[in-house]
Chains A and B, each alone.
Chain A
Amino acid sequence: EAGVVQSPRYKIIEKKQPVAFWCNPISGHNTLYWYLQNLGQGPELLIRYENEEAVDDSQLPKDRFSAERLKGVDSTLKIQPAELGDSAVYLCASSATDRNTGELFFGEGSRLTVL
């Protein structure tokens, strides 16, 4: 069974440029998460979807970040414009239930460097 797939794996951009990340969750997983992980820190939740509905987006900086999950499957996370402090790994995860039981399956992440 395929795991969570993310792309691109690496992205280098200049500040003020836009960037987008894509995630394909495990088939049948209704819950999808975007996390941000800075070096030496644990993942921090940006947004959680139940199917196509964003049920927890309080940590998403909405002035520059946006996300969507059309048709409740794939998801994209966009940053526009990017700032130096956005350099981090963006992790997508999915889980089988909406009860947040604790077992999340993560993708390999998209590593963003903003110059």
Chain B
Amino acid sequence: GQNIDQPTEMTATEGAIVQINCTYQTSGFNGLFWYQQHAGEAPTFLSYNVLDGLEEKGRFSSFLSRSKGYSYLLLKELQMKDSASYLCAVIKAAGNKLTFGGGTRVLVKP
């Protein structure tokens, strides 16, 4: 089976940094995605990690440690529009099927 755990909610201030952690236990692993989902909208792709280490894309970075079953998404220079849910999703070894964590709702305050 697969367990994917993320905090339910986080609050941060505009301009600050927030780190969203994701831990997973899975019988097979072949990559981890982060998606952003605004309320009532579709999830949009943020990042993909399959090797250990940090992937940086502008204000967003994602880190993976396969040995620890751990990833985080780092959001820097927070903007009000970053208020959304952030979904961690793991791919099993076979095929491109995503299993999502419950999502972390981030609220950015002025």
**Bound pair (A, B):** no
B→A interface (CB under 8 Å): none
A→B interface (CB under 8 Å): none
